[in-house]
Amino acid sequence: MTSPDFKALRREFPLLSRKTYLNSGSYCALANSVKDAFNQYMEDRLLVGANWDVWVMKNEAVRGSVAQLLHALPDEIAVTASASAGINALASALEFGGERNKVVISDFEFPTNAQIWHAQEKKGAQVVHVPRAADGYIGLEQFDKLIDERTQLVAVTQVCFRNGARLDIAGITRMAHARGAKMLVDTYQAAGGVEIDVKALNVDFAVGGLLKYLLGTAGLGFLYARRELIPALLPTNSGWFAQENITAMDISANRPSPTARRFEAGTPAVVNCYASEAGLKFLLEVGVPAAEARIQQLTRQCMDALEEIGWPAITPRADERRGPTVAIPARDASGLTAKLLARDIVTSYRDNCIRASFHFYNNEDDVGAFIAAMRELRSTDRE
Ligand SMILES: Cc1ncc(COP(=O)(O)O)c(C=O)c1O
């Protein structure tokens, strides 16, 4: 396999010639082709009007590309408005009245994957949080203490949005299944920057969104549901686009689609489908394994250099324990982010850390500019 021409690919993101952009964990840089796709939507609206045939195709193109990305079947993918929408649709199909009422989440969750499960307490769910160990990581031994025969679902993030740590999803899934529980993974901070094969991981459900490493836009997400599980799951969060026959317009009953479309709801976010189709196309042409290798190279370089300047990241060092984000502790994370931005270096912050997130379109100069600024700012903010 020949390596992609990363230098040429970088030119497709005009922002990168103006900024050191280390913020893909919040929102990706915009590719020319994605901008063109937004413009195409405008053209279609101006000149064609209601272009429903094309719009349905765009939604299906996103479904097909997400399936390709995850190594799943298109019928196992629901195209949703957000990750939250996918989790809510799934949660609405689960019962928590019986013995298996436990949902195991982790302390690394993005709020939505905790709050929605806590919202199920009204239906009888008991939500438990797997805490981090003394080294700051959440290993299998931590999950071992809380996943049991009363667990219905283990719902965990693949990469933590706060500290960039990557969990052992295959290992957690094996443990969940051995104890009769199902497994949901939140891929949001991983998909596009980490190769994900839902069949190899053997997860039952996966959610994510299009605006970060998938190069698309806000306002679109997905839910993967393993084919064999779909018929028994009847969401009460529903809508006409979740029906077996959308055009039947039948108001006499709820007839859910036999596929993962049953987790969808209303009119698709058409403009977001245009943009996300283009973003996914770009990413899949680069190839996620190639993107992941490039990201690992850059994050490793960044973490090594941070050690050298005496300001180490809290993100785990081992390649298999981290994703595209490097988190660095700071006394005044918001102030530091602002000082970096004043130097045209775009990062973000969560809690008491700044986050530098890398994609394949970053390069060694970005690492160099970031480290030089951090070295300079070290005396103003050091823990
Ligand atoms: C891990 C993770 N999950 C979920 C989300 C967002 O979910 P939603 O699409 O519902 O806004 C994010 C956004 O930053 C995230 O980082």
* Mean per-residue pLDDT, 222-239: 98
- Determine whether 338 is exposed, middle or buried from the number of CB atoms within 10 Å of its CB (0-12, 13-18, 19+): exposed
Q: Which of 279, 295, 373, 273 is nearest to 28 (CA)?
A: 279
Please give the share of the chain, as a percent, with pLDDT higher than 70: 99
Residue 82 Cβ contacting ligand 1 at under 6 Å: yes
Contact 380, 29 (CB under 8 A): no
Give the tokens for residue 215: 């190069």
Q: Which atom of ligand 1 is nearest to the CA of 81?
A: 9
Q: Is the CB of 235 under 6 A from ligand 1?
A: no
Question: Is the separation of the CB atoms in 204 and 263 below 8 Å?
Answer: no
* CB-ligand 1 contact for 217 (6 Å cutoff): no
* Tens-digit pLDDT profile for residues 348-359: 998 899 999 999
Give residue 282's pLDDT: 98
Q: Report pLDDT digits (tens) over 291-322.
A: 999 999 999 999 999 999 999 999 999 999 99
3-state SS, one letter per residue, for 250-291? CCCCCCECCCHHHHCCCCCCHHHHHHHHHHHHHHHHHCHHHH
CA 28 – ligand 1 centroid, Å: 14
Q: How far, in Å, is the centroid of ligand 1 from the Cα of 187?
A: 9
pLDDT single digits (tens) 276-296 = 999 999 999 999 999 999 999
CB atoms inside a 10 Å sphere around CB 239: 14
Mean pLDDT of the chain: 97
Q: Is 323 in the pocket of ligand 1 (CB under 6 A)?
A: no
* Any atom of ligand 1 within 6 Å of the Cβ of 186: yes
- Contact, 299 vs 319, CB < 8 A? no
Q: Is the pLDDT of residue 4 over 60?
A: yes
Residue 73: count other Cβ atoms within 10 Å of its Cβ. 16
Q: How far is the CA of 214 from the centre of ligand 1 (A)?
A: 13
Verify whether ligand 1 is closer than 6 Å to residue 86 (CB atom).
Answer: no
What is the per-residue pLDDT for 1? Answer: 62
Interior angle at CA 195, CA 271 and CA 105, nearest 5 = 85
**157 Cβ inside 6 Å of ligand 1:** yes
In 123-186, where does DSSP find H-type helix?
140-144, 169-178
Q: Strands, DSSP E only, in 84-241? A: 102-106, 126-130, 151-157, 182-186, 205-209, 221-225
Ligand 1 pocket mutation, candidates 161, 220, 222, criterion most atoms within 8 A of CB:
161
Nearest CA to ligand 1 atom 13: 188
Are residues 205 and 226 in contact, defined by beta-carbon separation less than 8 angstroms?
A: yes
Averaged pLDDT for residues 164-186: 98
Kindly state if the Cβ of 221 falls inside 6 Å of ligand 1. yes
263 has pLDDT over 90 = yes
Tell me if 209 CB under 6 Å of ligand 1: yes
What is the pTM (predicted TM-score) of this model? 0.97
Chain length of the chain: 383
* Spacing of C-alpha 200 from chain mean position: 18
Q: What is the pLDDT of residues 124-151, one digit of tens each?
A: 999 999 999 999 999 999 999 999 999 9
Domains and CATH numbers, the chain: 6-30+287-380 (3.90.1150.10), 36-284 (3.40.640.10)
Residue 51 pLDDT > 70: yes
Residue 63 scores a pLDDT above 90: yes
State which of 66, 87, 185, 188 you would mutate to test the pocket of ligand 1, scoring each by most atoms of that ligand within 8 A of its C-beta: 188
Confidence of residue 52 (pLDDT cuts 50, 70, 90): confident
State the pLDDT confidence band at 382, using cuts at 50, 70 and 90.
low
- For ligand 1, mutation pick of 82, 107, 108, 112 (most atoms within 8 Å of CB): 112
- CB of 84 closer than 6 A to ligand 1? yes
